[in-house]
Homo-oligomer: A and B are copies of this chain.
């Protein structure tokens, strides 16, 4: 695990630092998405807020994590499982927000549907967020 983390950082030409290792660790051990706040809470050792912001930004830029759209004002981040590259994400999966536990999940196996748009609109990227009850909360 610790080796994986180092590999991911190395592969993306990022120097290996305590905060990057820790934050990446949080994403790897977690099935759902994380918001900035979650990370600060769970980090254990206290990293500066600025460091967390900068780390998340770096990870997004490198294509290690991606943001998930929400209707409220909270940005959530999750690991990219597709082969995203620096500056060019191409996740094609949908996202699921559980209204019971509040968690957000990437449903990597559910591909975003085709959308037929009116004349004059061209599509670049499609985001689908499904709200409902997740598997854990149903059982």
Seen from chain A, the residues whose Cβ lies within 8 Å of a Cβ on chain B are 67-75, 94, 96, 99, 107, 109-110, 113-135, 138-139
Contact = CB atoms under 8 A, between A and B. Distances in A.
A109 to B, nearest CB: 7
12 contacts: A69-B71, A71-B127, A73-B73, A96-B121, A99-B124, A110-B116, A113-B115, A120-B138, A121-B132, A121-B134, A124-B131, A126-B128
Indicate how many identical chains form the complex: 2
Given A67-B71, A71-B67, A72-B75, A127 B119 contact: no
A126 B130 contact: yes
Contacts of A69: 69-71, 127, 129
A72 B109 CA distance: 24
A107 B117 contact: yes
A139 to B, nearest CB: 7
A117 B133 CA distance: 11
A128 B36 CA distance: 24
A122 to B, nearest CB: 5
A99 B116 CA distance: 18
A121 B95 CA distance: 12
B129 A133 contact: no
